[in-house]
Amino acid sequence: METINQLELQNEVNTLVRSELEVVDQASFANANELIARLQAQKKKVVDFFADSKRKAAEAHKAICASEKQLLTPIETRMNALKTATQLWYTKEQARIAAEEERRRKEAEDLARLAAEAEESGDTDVAQEALVEATLAEASVTVMPKCSGTAMRELWRAVVIDPALIPREYLVVNQSALDALAKATKGSVTIPGVRFEKTFVNSTRAAN
């Protein structure tokens, strides 16, 4: 079997890829396909040259990744469970805080209204007391849960309720499905907004 080093292989590649050829007629078309065949053969030669090294590297990488995964899996499993638990609690706590703030706001409004009514009826003592309580209720501060080294950031996501109602600008064309349809039907079907077209692909075999 022929043995070759990487430098020699690089020189062979350089010689082939530097070949200048313009396809303008039948003869240059044939020459181009001949060069493609030689390039295909050279490509296989390059792939074969690195195949054993890649296989050994892949096996070593696989073994290292397996060892890493064995250690990481229990860590990530426990960490994810804790994150889920803290996120659920924090979400509930935010809802509780929001409800508490809304309750205080309504309480402050009710007390302020009571103070105004008492003031109008001449009951200044009740009015003053209600006004003080309203001010205190409105000034109450809710302490948000915090933990050193932890930041709970908001994460918004969209939940599709009815795909038929989604505006057009948020829809993505399924190009792979359309390409498959074009291949299967050879463009004989009609799809609104789509034009099927035919091109040619060069599939020259490698030179012997």
pLDDT tens figures, 31-44: 999 999 999 999 99
In this prediction, residue 184 carries a pLDDT of 96
Prediction pTM value = 0.57
Average pLDDT of every residue of the chain: 86
Q: How far apart are the C-alpha atoms of 60 and 65, rounded to whole Å? A: 9
pLDDT tens figures, 9-35: 999 999 999 888 899 999 999 999 999
SS3 string, 61-74, reads: HHHHHHHHHHHHHH
Q: How many helices (H) and strands (E) does the chain have?
A: 4, 0
Q: Span 71-90, mean pLDDT?
A: 94
At a CB cut-off of 8 Å and minimum separation 6, what does 41 contact? 206, 207, 208
Distances from the Cα of 125 to the Cα of 22, 25, 113, 206, angstroms: 101, 106, 15, 102
In this prediction, residue 144 carries a pLDDT of 65
| 139 pLDDT higher than 80 | no
Tell the residue number behind the tokens 């250690």, with chain if given: 71
In this prediction, residue 185 carries a pLDDT of 95
Q: Which of 131, 138, 128 is nearest to 113 (CA)?
A: 131
Q: How far apart are the C-alpha atoms of 42 and 25, rounded to whole Å? A: 25
